[in-house]
């Protein structure tokens, strides 16, 4: 019985989120009210807030949940933090692209399109990613001084954010998961080469012509 209740709750949560994304995509985040979402999803406003405490959380669910600190903390002995993270994002770039994922892909595209179109949501996403940076800095500080750890975490998370944005923008522009993944493969290698070797060794600090 408890399992049935949980499934119904999950179904309700997904329905509310799907309705909200559709309305935001059609009319813009700021133009849609919580009352309109609740009415379209056929739930009471109090029920909506039980699942989503803020209007922003209707869209930002799942954003900033990659556990960068956990990846670094769980790495095998002898592997550097950057090596562990490069391996993780290589795996992400070459992940499964089966047709069964098509529905999730479509939902993801709508979610990213809504976020990219809203300064409020873009700012909210950045706030969530700040937590990732702080957690990563704490793990890195276990092996080096605090300032070095903070600077490393800032550079890593900024690079990861750029990789994610480029990947999602390719999807929003119409690329398939396979094509977006191929592009991400090259982006991952460049990003981590820069993190490991810096601009100087990659010849990217030269003045423009």
Q: Residue 82: how many CB atoms within 10 A of its CB?
A: 19
User: What integer is the mean pLDDT of 195-205?
Assistant: 64
Calculate ∠ Cα 168-171-122, nearest 5°: 35
How far is 155 from 157, CA to CA, in rounded Å?
6
The answer to whether residues 115 and 165 touch, using CB atoms and an 8 Å cutoff, is no
- Amino acid 100: pLDDT: 39
**Which option is the CATH number for 62-201: 3.30.1330, 1.10.357, 1.10.3470, 1.10.10?**
1.10.357
**CA 203, 205, 208, 209 torsion: positive or negative?**
negative
Average pLDDT of the chain, as a whole number? 86
Which comes out higher in pLDDT, residue 176 or 75?
A: 75
What pLDDT, in 10s, does the model give residues 121-153? Answer: 988 888 888 888 999 999 999 999 999 999 999
Instruction: Inform me whether the pLDDT recorded for 116 exceeds 50.
Output: yes
The domain covering 2-59 belongs, at the CATH homologous superfamily level, to: Homeodomain-like (1.10.10.60)
Q: Where are the domains of the chain?
A: 2-59, 62-201
Q: How confident is the model at residue 109 (pLDDT cuts 50, 70, 90)?
A: confident
How far is 193 from 43, CA to CA, in rounded Å?
50
Please tell me whether the overall predicted TM-score, pTM, comes out greater than 0.85 for this model: no
φ/ψ of residue 54, rounded to 5: -135, 160
Domains 2-59 and 62-201 equal at CATH topology level: no
Instruction: Inform me whether the pLDDT recorded for 22 exceeds 60.
Output: yes
């Amino acid at each position: 019985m408890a399992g049935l209740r949980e499934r119904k709750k999950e179904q309700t949560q997904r329905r509310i989120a799907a309705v909200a994304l559709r309305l935001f995509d059609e009319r813009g985040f700021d133009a849609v009210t919580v009352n309109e979402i609740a009415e379209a999803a056929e739930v009471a406003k109090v029920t909506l807030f039980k699942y989503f405490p803020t209007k922003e959380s209707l869209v930002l669910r799942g954003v900033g949940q990659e556990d960068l600190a956990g990846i670094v903390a769980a790495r095998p002995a002898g592997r550097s933090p950057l090596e562990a993270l490069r391996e993780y994002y290589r795996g992400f770039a070459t992940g499964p692209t089966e047709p069964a994922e098509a529905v999730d892909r479509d939902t993801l595209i709508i979610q990213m399109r809504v976020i990219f179109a809203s300064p409020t949501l873009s700012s909210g996403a950045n706030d969530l990613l700040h937590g990732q940076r702080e957690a990563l800095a704490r793990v890195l500080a276990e092996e080096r001084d605090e300032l070095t750890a903070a600077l490393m975490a800032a550079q890593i998370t900024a690079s990861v954010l750029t990789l994610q944005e480029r990947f999602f923008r390719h999807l929003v522009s119409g690329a398939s998961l396979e094509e977006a993944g191929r592009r991400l493969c090259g982006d991952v290698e460049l990003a981590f080469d820069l993190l490991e070797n810096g601009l100087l060794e990659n010849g990217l600090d030269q003045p423009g012509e």
